[in-house]
Amino acid sequence: MMMFDARPDAPLIFKERLLWLLFLAPFFFLTYGTANQIASLHSSLPIIMFDWEQQIPFIAEMIVPYMSVDLLFGLSFLLVKNRDEIQRHSLRLGFTIVFSVMLFLLFPLQCSLEKPVIEGWTKAIFIGLSADLPYNQLPSLHVSLSMVVGYMYFKHFSGFWRWFSVFWFALIIVSTLFVYQHHFIDLPAGFIVGLLAFYIVPVSGKSWIRLNFVSPKHLHIALYYLISSIIFTVLAFKFSALALLYGWIALSLLLVACLYTLGHNPIVMKKNGRIQWLSWLLFWPYLVAQYLSWRIWKKKVATLVEITDGIWIGRSLHTDDEDLIRSKQIKTIMDLAPEVNGHLPVSVNYIYQPLLDLAIPNPAILHHLCEIINTAKQQGNVYIHCKFGLSRSVLVACAWLIKSQGHSKQHAWDKISLAQPLRVDRPYMHIALALFEAQLPDITSSSTTQIETHQTT
């Protein structure tokens, strides 16, 4: 089992570089392509063009720098040195794509320049480019992506190659005019978006987009949701009668994929154990699927099991479980599952601390939860639940045994396994606990994640 080094300045493993690229590349083509297809549904679109642009010559050879941005985009992930740098780089790319695509959808424009008949060795390249419809115009993503990607080459190259990279990315930017892909106004707009990306996610220091704990497991799960989103997007364009339904499902899955990529644990909003209406509006396809799986499995697993005196773990609660909770004298319920509703019995303290399913939790958050459990245990028995009671609640309970009871990782795991033989037993579970055990001596402050507590009488 490979030990995961979670420090922001830790050297990257190749798998992380690959997963970030495997997510962002299809994410770009999905969002960019969708905006292009939607724009093509309009009968006519505005054109913003200066008269002098008609004098710009068409230079077929400029297709080489124009298309090279795709290759340089991918290779940039080999240049980054540590986890903090790749996360910032990826978030800048993601912001640039999302912000630009939103503008494409809100203010669609069309390129009016027609390419001449192309012969020679560049013809095959232009045939491939023909799939890119002439709509996604302002801002030019070629400009903003060249700024974000080009920064990585400027930072990590030196001497001749540093300044050659500056020249080449400048060539990429101007090539948008000479291959008749953009009008001039798109270029300064793209430049502004590029600057905005570095403002939102700076090279160092505080970022407007929060830099959460993200492991390769987060990216792996995000990729599954992204692929599912792509499938439903294709179905939406193929079957117009069901386009709204398929499009809604695609958007929901895409949002889930992005939240996993951001390491954002409160994937939906809950109050008193109930998912709020705005979350239902955005995530109903995802939430319905989660509810159906819970309904299928809830009778196959025990509602709750006691792992040690006063500490119980289990699945999300149903109204039928209230008497059982009362009989076990549960005083505090810790809810780890953002994706399902949970019944909140009367006369209990409710603590909502969501964790993403199937992902490796931040060791600092596990430490924080252990502190909360210790405090809650002074008031009586504590019930820790996720959706099925087989993974996240197991991890939290194991972490509590390690921190508060002095157990080793293996001893804690064996104790939980004895109480709940159906617990998930996958490599990421052991990596998460090994990481927590290794970092425990160095964790001196609790997580800043907000905890929602609800008291009923």
- The domain locations on the chain are 14-211, 270-455
Three-class DSSP category at 14: helix
pLDDT above 50 for 456: no
* Cβ 303 vs Cβ 317: under 8 Å: yes
C-alpha torsion 235→241→245→246, nearest 10: 0
Q: Into which CATH architecture does domain 270-455 fall? A: Alpha-Beta Complex (3.90)
pTM for this entry = 0.91
Tens-digit pLDDT profile for residues 401-451: 999 999 999 999 999 999 999 999 999 999 999 999 988 888 755 444 444
Give the pLDDT confidence score for residue 272 in this predicted structure.
Answer: 86
Give the pLDDT confidence score for residue 69 in this predicted structure.
Answer: 95
Q: Which residues are registered as beta bridge partners of 332?
A: 349, 382
DSSP 349: E
**Closest to 25 in 3D by CA, of 226, 176, 253, 262:** 226
* Cβ 178 vs Cβ 57: under 8 Å: yes
**Closest to 348 in 3D by CA, of 393, 382, 373, 392:** 382
Tens-digit pLDDT profile for residues 69-106: 999 999 999 999 999 999 999 999 999 999 999 999 99
Tens-digit pLDDT profile for residues 308-322: 989 999 999 988 888
* Cβ 336 vs Cβ 392: under 8 Å: yes
Percent of the chain with pLDDT over 70: 96
Q: Is the dihedral of CA 266, 272, 275, 278 positive or negative?
A: negative
Six-digit token string for 300: 């196959």
Give the pLDDT confidence score for residue 321 in this predicted structure.
Answer: 86
* Cβ 377 vs Cβ 330: under 8 Å: no
How far is it, in rounded angstroms, from Cα 400 to Cα 361? 14
**Closest to 101 in 3D by CA, of 158, 22, 38:** 38
Percent of the chain with pLDDT over 90: 77
DSSP 266: -
DSSP string, 112-163: -PPPPP--STTHHHHHHHTTS-S---SS-HHHHHHHHHHHHHHHH--HHHHH
**Closest to 325 in 3D by CA, of 346, 294, 301:** 346
pLDDT above 90 for 11: no
* Cβ 145 vs Cβ 92: under 8 Å: no
Give the pLDDT confidence score for residue 44 in this predicted structure.
Answer: 85
Confidence at 4, pLDDT banded by 50, 70, 90: low
Report the mean per-residue pLDDT for the chain. Answer: 91
Give the pLDDT confidence score for residue 183 in this predicted structure.
Answer: 94
Give the pLDDT confidence score for residue 140 in this predicted structure.
Answer: 95
Give the pLDDT confidence score for residue 80 in this predicted structure.
Answer: 95
- Total Cβ atoms within 10 A of residue 412: 24
pLDDT above 90 for 301: no
Query: What average pLDDT does the segment 33-52 reach?
Result: 91
Residue 213 C-beta-side C-alpha neighbours within 13 Å: 21
Q: Could you tell me what percentage of the chain is helix, strand and coil, using 3-state DSSP and rounding each to the nearest 5?
A: 60, 5, 35
pLDDT above 70 for 218: yes
Give the pLDDT confidence score for residue 3 in this predicted structure.
Answer: 60
pLDDT above 80 for 221: yes
Query: What average pLDDT does the segment 33-45 reach?
Result: 90
If DSSP states are collapsed to H, E and C, what string results for 356-417? CCCCCCCHHHHHHHHHHHHHHHCCCEEEEECCCCCCHHHHHHHHHHHHHCCCCHHHHHHHHH
By mean pLDDT, which of 35-39, 85-89, 342-346, 407-411 is the weakest?
Answer: 342-346
Confidence at 342, pLDDT banded by 50, 70, 90: confident
Helix-helix angle 14-40:243-262, to 10 degrees: 150
Give the pLDDT confidence score for residue 86 in this predicted structure.
Answer: 95
